[in-house]
Structure 1
C-alpha cells in the first residue's frame, strides 16, 4: 500500500450574503448568497480544484451547516466535479456546525451591540468580548464550544480510521465566520476544558443523519475564553491537519490548500 497524505480538515466559510457584506451578525437568520457571493464561490472552486490544491478524489466527507448560505456554497463548490466524483462523496448536514446563536444581537452591527449592552449596565469593568462573554439570550461560549467539540471529535475519529486503513482523507466543513474561527481554535490551540456534567452537556444529541459516521461520546469538551484572532472572510478557506502524521497532534496547515506529494512530507514525519 502506497503512502497517503496526512488527513486534512478543509474549512470553508460560505460566500457573501447581504449581512456579511454589511457586517450584521447572522446566526439563525437564513439568508441566501448575493449574486457576488455566487460568483465568488464558483471562482474559488475553479481555482482550488482545477489546480489540484484540493483533489476531489481525496475527499471522503463534506460536512455542512444546515443554513441555506452554507448549503448553497457546497453546491457551488462542487459544480466542477464530475458525476462520478459527486456520486462518491457523502454530504452530511450537521446541526452542530450552525453559526453562533446571537440571541438579542441577531442582525446588529458590533457598535450597536456594544451600545445595547452599555444601556443594560453591562461591561462596566471591561469591554464585551463574544469569545468570553457570549450573547444575551443566545449562546454562551461554553455552549458553542460543546457542540463544535462534538463535531471535531467525529471528524478526527474518521481521520484516525481512514489513516489506519491507508485511505487518503480530506474532509471539508462548510459553515460560518464565528463558528469556523472557533472550530479552528479548538482544533489546535490551548483551550479551557470542562467535564460534561450538566443535563445539556450529557445529552449529546445526534445532530446529523448518516450511519457511516460513528457518534463520539464526550466525557469533557473544550471551549474558548479568549479571542483567537483569526480572520476568515466570506468565501475564505482554511486548512487544519496534523503534525507528524499523528491524529493526536492537531495542527494548522500554514501552506493552506496547497499540499506536497506524500513522499515529500518529511518535515511532518518522525523529526520533531
Structure 2
C-alpha cells in the first residue's frame, strides 16, 4: 500500500487528487524497503516478473522508494489499480459524506456504505469490480503456466487502501460489498497466492514466513 499522505492522516477520501507522500510517509516506505526488499528478503526483486502501479503521484513515489532500480519494461502504471474514484465525495471524511446525504433525504433506513452504494459523481461498485477483475485476469494469465514453481512469477501491486481491500475481495471471489473486515496500514505489504498451487484456488496468506537468514558461518564468519 502507498505511504501516508496528509489527507489520509485526516481521514479524508483521497481518490483522483494527486497529492504527494508526507515526509513521514516517505520515511515509512524507505524503512520498509531497507528491512523487507532485497535478495532473499520478503520482497525479492529477482522474483518479480511484473509490477502494476497506480498512476497517482503518491503511488509512484512509493514504488520508486521500494524499488529504485526497477526495469521500466516490467512496470505498468494503470488506472485499473487506481484508488476508487470518489467523485463528489473527494476530500470529505465519512462523517461529512453521511451528513450531506441525510440532509438531501438519502439513507433514511440504512447508513451510506461505499462498498454497497458507491459514490455520487464517481464510481459504482460494479465499475470497480470490472476493472479489478480485468487486472486479476492479467495476473493469472502471467502466473498460470508456472504454478509448480518452474520459475518465479511474483507480481507486485502498489496502490491505495480502499482499492486494495476491494482487490483482496475480488481475488478471493467475493463481491466488493462482502463484509470482510480488513485493516491495511499505510506502507504495509500483504501477500496473496494460491492454495495447493492451483490457479483456481486463490488464497490470502494470513501468516507469511520470512525467508531464513544466512548463518554467520555461511557468511564466512568464524
Structure 1 segment 157-196 matched on structure 2, within 5 A: 157-163=141-147, 166-191=150-175
Shift of 1:162: 3.8
**What runs of 5+ residues in structure 2 fail to find an aligned partner?**
213-222
SS state of the match for residue 25, structure 1? coil
**TM-score normalised by structure 2 residue count:** 0.89
- Counterpart-to-counterpart distance in 1, 2:72 and 2:54: 20
Cα deviation, 1:21-43, whole Å, max 9, x if unaligned, reads: 11100000000101111110000
Maintained 8 Å contact 1:59/1:89: no
CA displacement at 1:54 relative to structure 2:
1.8
* Counterpart check, 1:74 vs 2:63: yes
Answering whether residue 174 of structure 2 is matched by residue 235 of structure 1, we say no
Distance in 2 separating the partners of 1:165 and 1:154? 19
CA distance in 2, matches of 1:190, 1:65: 22
Gaps of 5+ in 1: 1-12, 192-223, 261-272
Deviations 1:4-61 (A, max 9, x none): xxxxxxxxx1001111111100000000101111110000011112561122111111
More strand by share: 1
SS of residue in 2 equivalent to 1:248: coil
Partner Cα separation in structure 2 for residue 45 and residue 137 of structure 1: 37
Corresponding position: 1:59 with 2:48: yes
Once residues 206 and 90 of structure 2 are traced to their aligned partners in structure 1, the CA distance between those partners, rounded to angstroms, is 33
Aligned counterparts, 1:108-123, within 5 A: 108-123=92-107
Distance 1:88 1:167, change over 3 A: farther
Normalised to the residue count of structure 1, the TM-score between the two structures is 0.73
| Structure 1 contact 54–257 (Cα < 8 Å) conserved | no
Task: Tell me the residue number matched to 2:121.
Answer: 137
Residue 89 of structure 1, CA deviation: 6.5
Q: Say if 1:258 and 1:112 are closer, same or farther in 2 by CA, change over 3 A.
A: same
